C-alpha cells in the first residue's frame, strides 16, 4: 500500500515523513520538473501480534506488513492544473495523508499568510477537484472526437462513457468529488485508469502545537462529511524531536505531553482504518509474517497474495485466530478447544486470522 503525504507548502509534510520513517532511510528520491520532489520509504507496520508470534514460534525471519510513504511536495494553491508529472505521482497512490498547518509560528511563512486549517483544507480539496475536472473535460473532448470520427467503438459504447463522464462532471461541480457517486462494475472499470484524486481516501493530519485547537469542529464543513471520520491531530515538530531521543527520554517526553502512542502508531492505525485494511498471519519455523488485505477478501484471494500457485491450486485453509492462540497458548490447545477450523473457498478472512493454505501445486513440464 502506498500513501502520499501531501499539503500546502511548509505545512509540515517532511517533518511528518521524517517522524514516520526515521528508522528507515528513504529509498528513492526523484525530482520531477525541478519543482516536485518525492521521497519514498517503506515502513514496517508495528503489530504486537507479530511480536508475540515471533516469540512463540522462534522463526528464522519475522516480517511485518509494510506501508510505503511518499513525501510529495509541489502542491500549491495556483488554481491551475498540476504539472503532468505531479499528477501522475498523485494518481498512483492508494490514499492521501493530508497534512494541514495548525500551528502558529511567525518564522514559518504560510503561502496565504494565514493560520486557517479549514481554509487550507478547502484550498487543497478545490485543487484536487479542479484537476479531476480538467481530466474529465479532456476525456469528454476525446470522446466527442471519437464519436465524430467513427469507425472504432460502437456509438452505444461511446455514448455510455459520455454519460458517465458527464455524471462525474456534475459530481465535481456540485460536491467535492467523484467518490460521492455510486459506480457499477462496468463504470468503475472505465474510470479506474484515470486515478482521480477525489476518489481516493484521505486522512487529515492537523499539524498542531500544544496551544492549537484540535477538535474536529475546527474543520466541520458539510461538503466534506466523509472526511470527519478521518481526522487526527499530531504535534508534528515535537513528534519528530521525540523520535531522535534515546528510548528512556522518549517515553519521558511522551508522558510529559500526554502522548499515549507515537505519531507512527497513530498514523498507521488511522490509515488502516481509513483504507479499511486488515492483517492476517502465516506462521512457521522459517517465517512469521503479516499480510495486508482489504475488507471482504476470500481465503483463495488471501492465498493468492502469498503466492499465485496457492490461489490457483487452493483446496482449503486451516484457520485459527490470533486471539484464540494467544489466549490458549498453543496450536494443540486451540485444536482441543475446537477453535481450529478448515475453511473453504467462500470463507472471508478476518483480521487476526492465522492461515495455513492447503493447495495442490501446479504441474510444471
Ligand X SMILES: Nc1nc2c(ncn2[C@@H]2O[C@H](COP(=O)(O)OP(=O)(O)OP(=O)(O)O)[C@@H](O)[C@H]2O)c(=O)[nH]1
Out of 14, 62, 85, 167, the only residue in the binding site for Mg ion (CB under 5 A) is: 14
Write out the residues near ligand X by the rule CB under 6 A.
Answer: 7, 9-15, 73, 103, 105, 108, 207, 209, 235-237
Which of Mg ion, ligand X, none does residue 316 bind (CB under 5 to 8 Å by kind)? none
Report which DSSP code applies to 259.
-
Q: Smallest distance, Å, CB 173 to Mg ion?
A: 32
Q: Which is nearer to ligand X, 266 or 341 (CB)?
A: 266
Q: How far apart are CA 141 and CA 144, in angstroms?
A: 5
Which of ligand X, Mg ion, none does residue 70 bind (CB under 5 to 8 Å by kind)? none
Q: Which of residues 70-109 bind Mg ion (CB under 5 A)?
A: 73
Q: How far apart are CA 264 and CA 8, in angstroms?
A: 21
Q: How far apart are CA 315 and CA 99, in angstroms?
A: 45
Q: Smallest distance, Å, CB 120 to ligand X?
A: 11
Q: How far apart are CA 177 and CA 175, in angstroms?
A: 6
Exposure class string for 92-102: b at 16+ Cβ within 10 A, else e: ebebbbbbbbb
Q: Which is nearer to ligand X, 210 or 265 (CB)?
A: 210
Q: Which is nearer to Mg ion, 73 or 135 (CB)?
A: 73
Backbone angles phi, psi at 347, to 5 degrees: -60, 130
Q: Which is nearer to ligand X, 103 or 322 (CB)?
A: 103
Q: Smallest distance, Å, CB 6 to ligand X?
A: 9
Run of H or E including 315? strand 314-321
Site string for Mg ion, 46-75 (x = CB under 5 A): ---------------------------x--
Which of Mg ion, ligand X, none does residue 271 bind (CB under 5 to 8 Å by kind)? none
Q: How far apart are CA 348 and CA 345, in angstroms?
A: 8
Q: How far apart are CA 69 and CA 280, in angstroms?
A: 21
Q: How far apart are CA 161 and CA 221, in angstroms?
A: 32
Q: Which is nearer to ligand X, 103 or 272 (CB)?
A: 103
Amino acid at each position: 500500500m502506498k500513501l502520499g503525504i501531501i499539503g500546502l507548502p511548509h505545512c509540515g509534510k517532511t517533518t511528518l515523513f521524517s517522524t514516520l520513517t526515521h528508522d528507515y532511510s528513504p529509498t528513492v528520491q526523484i525530482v520531477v520538473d525541478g519543482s516536485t520532489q518525492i521521497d519514498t520509504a517503506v515502513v514496517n507496520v508495528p503489530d504486537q501480534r507479530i511480536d508475540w508470534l515471533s516469540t512463540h514460534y522462534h522463526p528464522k525471519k519475522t516480517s511485518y506488513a509494510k506501508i510505503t510513504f511518499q513525501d510529495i511536495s509541489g502542491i500549491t494553491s495556483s488554481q491551475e492544473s498540476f504539472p503532468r508529472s505531479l499528477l501522475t505521482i498523485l494518481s498512483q497512490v492508494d490514499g492521501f495523508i493530508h497534512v494541514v498547518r495548525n500551528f502558529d509560528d511567525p518564522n514559518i511563512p504560510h503561502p496565504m499568510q494565514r493560520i486557517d486549517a479549514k481554509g487550507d483544507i478547502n484550498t487543497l480539496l478545490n485543487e484536487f477537484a479542479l484537476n479531476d475536472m480538467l481530466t474529465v473535460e479532456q476525456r469528454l473532448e476525446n470522446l466527442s472526437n471519437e464519436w465524430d470520427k467513427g469507425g472504432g467503438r460502437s456509438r452505444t459504447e461511446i455514448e455510455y462513457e459520455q454519460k458517465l463522464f458527464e455524471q462525474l462532471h456534475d459530481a465535481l461541480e456540485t460536491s467535492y468529488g467523484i467518490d460521492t457517486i455510486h459506480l457499477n462494475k462496468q463504470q468503475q472499470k472505465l474510470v479506474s485508469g484515470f486515478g482521480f484524486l477525489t476518489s481516493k481516501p484521505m486522512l487529515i493530519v492537523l499539524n498542531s502545537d500544544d496551544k492549537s485547537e484540535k477538535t474536529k469542529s475546527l474543520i466541520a464543513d458539510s461538503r466534506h462529511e466523509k472526511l470527519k471520520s478521518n481526522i487526527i491531530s499530531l504535534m508534528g515538530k515535537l513528534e519528530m524531536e521525540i523520535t531522535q531521543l534515546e528510548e528512556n527520554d522518549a517515553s519521558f517526553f511522551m508522558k510529559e505531553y500526554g502522548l499515549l502512542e507515537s505519531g507512527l502508531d497513530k498514523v498507521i492505525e488511522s490509515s488502516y482504518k481509513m483504507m479499511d485494511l486488515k492483517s492476517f498471519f502465516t506462521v512457521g519455523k522459517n517465517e512469521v509474517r503479516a499480510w495486508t488485505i482489504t475488507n471482504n477478501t476470500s481465503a483463495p484471494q488471501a492465498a493468492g497474495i502469498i503466492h499465485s500457485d496457492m490461489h490457483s491450486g487452493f483446496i482449503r485453509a486451516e484457520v485459527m485466530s490470533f486471539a484464540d492462540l494467544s489466549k490458549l497458548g498453543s496450536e494443540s490447545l486451540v485444536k482441543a478447544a475446537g477453535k481450529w477450523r478448515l475453511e473453504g473457498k467462500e470463507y472471508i478472512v478476518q483480521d487476526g486470522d492465522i492461515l495455513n493454505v492447503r493447495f495442490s501445486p501446479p504441474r510444471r513440464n
